[in-house]
Amino acid sequence: MSIVRVDTEAPQVAVQDVQDIAAKSGLKLSDQMATDYVTLVSGLEAVIASLPDDSCVIPIPDLAKYPRSDIHFPTDNDLGGWAAKVTAKCTVPTSNLLGGRTIALKDNIALAGVPCMNGTSMVEWTPKVDATVATRVMDAGGIIVGKAACENACFEGLSATAITGNVHNPWAHGYSAGGSSSGSGRLVGAGLVDMSIGCDQAGSIRIPSASCGIVGLKPTWGMVPYTGIINLDAALDHAGPMTRTVRDCALLLEAIAGPDSWDDRQALLDLDDRRLKFVERVDGIVSKPQSEMLSGIKIGVLQEGFQIDGQDENIVKCVQAAVDKFKALGAEVAPVSIPEHKLAPLVWMSSIGLSCGRQALLGGMEGRKQLYMTDRLALIGSRLTQQQFDALGPGAASLYLNHLWLSEKHGLVHQGKCMNLQKFISDAYDKALKQFDVLVMPTLPHPAPKLPEHRYEEGLLKFTMRTTGMIANTSPFDNSGHPAISIPVGFVPAREDANVRLPAGMQLVGRKYEDVDCLKVAAAWEKAYDWKILQS
């Protein structure tokens, strides 16, 4: 290791401290090595003490330009939808793209002065910064009206773990709104906000969107900056729009997409202005005669996406019927097999423990070039305390235990193997997408489940088993980074009660950075058919 500076005049650390730290890792230092290292580490401490404060580079918002008021925790959070309320807008917006629209932010997205709970009491943190997506919403004339509830540490697909309480499905009280962007799904689905921004690492935009009968887009990895948002895993992190219509989805994506100079997920993102203009091209599609809207578009029906273990036959019928309707819109529809699709969720499950446990729960982001929210990092140690662990829901607790297990039993070789397999799987989708413009499949294998009566008091295993297989069609595209949109295509009976009707979602997956293809195909279907009258 090259040394920039050795400061022999610096106050010397104790030899015993050096030896104790080495001993914690099972190392024994010779007396000479310990003495030599005292000089080196003393110089290191002196350099650390000499560094300037990083406040000069932290993007603290101009509160005169972006004022916020009425910050409070609502006594009525609308059946779990709200985490907090606020009114925040720009006094001099640069466009009217979102003029007057109301937007909720998932409660892992920073908005200065508003508590960011991340669905858990593990860390109590009020940000000093605004996430890039929040600033862009306000610059586009949108009004941020609150923080939407999210599941505990953003690691649940069932809306029963948020610190603010259960989040109920807008179509059926007592049923899940999906997760982890559960509040976003409920608030948009119930018409309480025009739009919301969710985040997705395994399906957390698309699961609540499919469950709540709304449109949700997980953009191409890196299309939307993740700056100022609590990470789960930088290789999986996506932020994107959740709206009632495809056009609104395109509108919000246009407002928040593009590089921001902070997020290294965007380091190679070099898109011209037209490729970041989504609304115009969506409008162009739906203005055509119905039979010509998708002329020249090739849609691949992903066979493995209809072969999920335990898949509800009503979901299969509903989505297949929706797929069949593309032919009347001028599209060419054909089956396609990608065997690697069945491997993808297994790789996701195997890989997240090491990286996601470290990043999501301990804040470790070494090697990434991005905004570090150091005030939050200061609240987390190198390991969770018992109190912090006990504050987690079943999914996040299982994640942390997996992190400890994989670190001890498998290590970095296993992590490297999973990352290599992710590339192998992504290449398989890319190969298919050379033949087709989009791939189509059910978003979820079954309708939203009923919420447990006593939240997660039933225990880790029973609670976790409620969502087994849920992410089989969603998590593969967090691994691969392809854009994926869920749109509602009808109602199906609840598994627990055939008299309860719940939304079913269809997922469209496109080529990387061609998010507009997903939007165009989705918009054409939405224009031609009213999903609310379609039932299995």
Which residue numbers are catalytic? 106, 180, 204
Among residues 451, 495, 526, 497, which one has the least CA distance to residue 314? Answer: 495
Encoding tokens for residue 175?
A: 């049923």
Q: Residue 253 burial by CB count (10 A; 0-12/13-18/19+): exposed, middle or buried?
A: buried
Residue 177 contacts residue 167 (beta carbons within 8 Å)? yes
Q: What is the Cα 180 distance to its own chain's centre?
A: 8
Q: Helix 31-50 vs helix 15-24: angle between axes, to the nearest 10 degrees?
A: 100
**Helix runs in 2-109, H state only:** 15-24, 31-50
CA atoms within 13 A on the CB side of 228: 25
385 close to 428: Cβ distance less than 8 angstroms: no
**Backbone dihedral angles phi then psi of residue 22, each to the nearest 5 degrees:** -65, -40
Token pair 């709540």 in the structure block, residue:
212
For 29, 103, 160, the CA distances from 396, given in Å and listed in that order, are: 38, 27, 13
- The whole-angstrom separation of Cα 317 and Cα 247 is 26
What residues contact residue 94 under an 8 Å CB cut-off, 6+ apart? 139, 140
Is residue 183 classed as helix, strand or coil in its secondary structure? helix
